[in-house]
Amino acid sequence: MDRKRRSNTVATRSPDITALDFFLWGYVKTIVYQSPIRDTDELKSRITAAIQTVDSAMLHTT
């Protein structure tokens, strides 16, 4: 039987999810969900505000 070998298109250590991602989204979720959210606009606003509180020192310690 003649089979073609397929290369694995997914890397074993995907750069899509890094330690920084876990830290950043965990931090953002903590801030965003401190109190109930009324609507999508408020959610977007809270995410934007939370991201703006992240400084370079926080990113270097992860």
- Domains of the chain, residue spans: 16-60
**Quick one: which of 34, 52, 44, 60 has its CA closest to 23?**
60
Q: What secondary structure, in 3-state letters, does 34-46 show?
A: CCCCCCHHHHHHH
Q: What's the pTM?
A: 0.62
Which token pair is 28?
């953002």
Query: Rounded to whole angstroms, how far apart are CA atoms 9 and 37?
Result: 39
Instruction: Return phi, psi of residue 41, to 5°.
Output: -60, -40
Residue 37: how many other CB atoms lie within 10 Å: 14
Which token pair is 42?
């408020």
pLDDT of residue 30: 95
Q: Tell me: the pLDDT tens digits for 29-61?
A: 999 999 999 999 999 999 999 999 998 888 776
Identify the band that residue 2 occupies on the pLDDT scale cut at 50, 70 and 90.
Answer: low
